[in-house]
Structure 1
């Protein structure tokens, strides 16, 4: 699997669907970044009270944290959106929110995100490099849960490690290949990220799809 081929396949998947991809990624990013703050302001008693206080109240901070946690499935729903896009399943903006249709799935995604973060943190306490390696090793867990919803958190993480065996360096190089685009986006005051982020997400989904193909795994919805 070559990085150039992965990115070429991602661009092909995005062809004719850039508007949908950009709009969806922007909306989900906006919701994920703005809603927790608005909840914190509301719990604080409004904007006037919020800006008047020297630091947020404990209740407001907890409300922000809870909202952030509840929005975790939405971010993963965006991953699944791009996986569907790569598979030519014609996803819609609404399909991102389908992740909340099943409470059990939503809870599992939240738990998996927390567990992955905890594991990566533990490895990072040893050294930064092991933390990065483990983060890459666990990176496919959420895609696996899309294809195998019957899997538990630890099973998805374990399968991700197996799937990434021998491909962690490739994935790291794929991530690294977007550094130039990100730096260029900064020069455009972040506007370029509207296209770079969908491109990245499509490439990561394509990487997973190629891993599945290489491992002769049958994808069943």
Structure 2
């Protein structure tokens, strides 16, 4: 069973020597995750013009304002779907590599764009977000529970971008089945840091995000090992087919080279 202290200690250990890169990755995740939200009142229209003449003059401007607002909203949604989701999954991959003790590179953030799973990642993340949104629209509490159930989907896709969306959601549900409340408490445990960061005009919260993201990367690894140990999933399900093919080709190349070298050696000293 994992503990908050253990996960946070692991995250802090990694950040001591890799904070700058982690900050940049977390900043990207924060930007694409937050989307292009609109400030309240930016497109607010005042209908108290005082006279019918002013209303008739302002009408074209109001129409243009509404059209611009709709266009900006559509652009923000499209950006979140086709660019934001792959960047978020790539960012999670960076922190997964860090949690595994492997070299984590900034290139991981954009890795989904040149992988064979870009389309699948876009569809799966959209599918997941729509389901959570529908649960929120139906009832708030079930929506929150569902968001925790699917918390691990971006991490799963970071390991295997080509995984079927139903399998990704199923594995995330298995991983979080008995851990939703503990994950919620883990989230709450960062509130003090965010309040402290908020005192610096809100910018300070940006510097807390790497701590949170690194901790969640370690949490994913613990939950993954747990469901594999309980035979609820296999290691093969998390493997990216492209990586497997690359490893097989690399092995075959070295094997052919070794075989050739052996033949040369035998011919030379026969």
| TM-score under structure 1 length normalisation | 0.81
- Residues 23/145 of structure 1: CA separation in 2 closer, same or farther (3 Å cut): closer
Check the 8 A contact 2:175/2:223 in 1, yes or no.
Answer: yes
Counterpart of 1:80 in structure 2 is 93
Deviation digits for residues 111-155 of structure 1, max 9, x if unmatched? 122211121122223321111111101111121223334420111
- Residues 119/92 of structure 1: CA separation in 2 closer, same or farther (3 Å cut): same
Distance, in Å, in 1 between the alignment partners of 2:31 and 2:137 is: 32
Distance, in Å, in 1 between the alignment partners of 2:27 and 2:158 is: 22
Q: How many correspondences in the alignment?
A: 207
Distance, in Å, in 2 between the alignment partners of 1:34 and 1:65 is: 8
Query: Looking at both structures, which has the greater relative contact order when contacts are Cα pairs under 8 Å and sequence separation is at least 6?
Result: 1
- Residues 153/11 of structure 1: CA separation in 2 closer, same or farther (3 Å cut): same
> Among residues 114, 128, 149, which one is paired with 1:101 in the alignment?
114
Gaps of 5+ in 2: 39-63, 244-270
Distance, in Å, in 2 between the alignment partners of 1:140 and 1:30 is: 19
Counterpart of 1:54 in structure 2 is 65
CA RMSD of aligned residues (A): 2.7
Check the 8 A contact 2:11/2:211 in 1, yes or no.
Answer: yes
- Residues 156/178 of structure 1: CA separation in 2 closer, same or farther (3 Å cut): same
- Residues 112/54 of structure 1: CA separation in 2 closer, same or farther (3 Å cut): same
Work out which of the two has the higher radius of gyration on C-alpha atoms and give 1 or 2. Answer: 2
Check the 8 A contact 2:35/2:76 in 1, yes or no.
Answer: no
Counterpart of 1:18 in structure 2 is 19
Deviation digits for residues 10-49 of structure 1, max 9, x if unmatched? 1122220011111332355457779899xxxxxxxxxxxx
Distance, in Å, in 2 between the alignment partners of 1:109 and 1:69 is: 10
Cα distance, 1:57 vs structure 2:
6.0
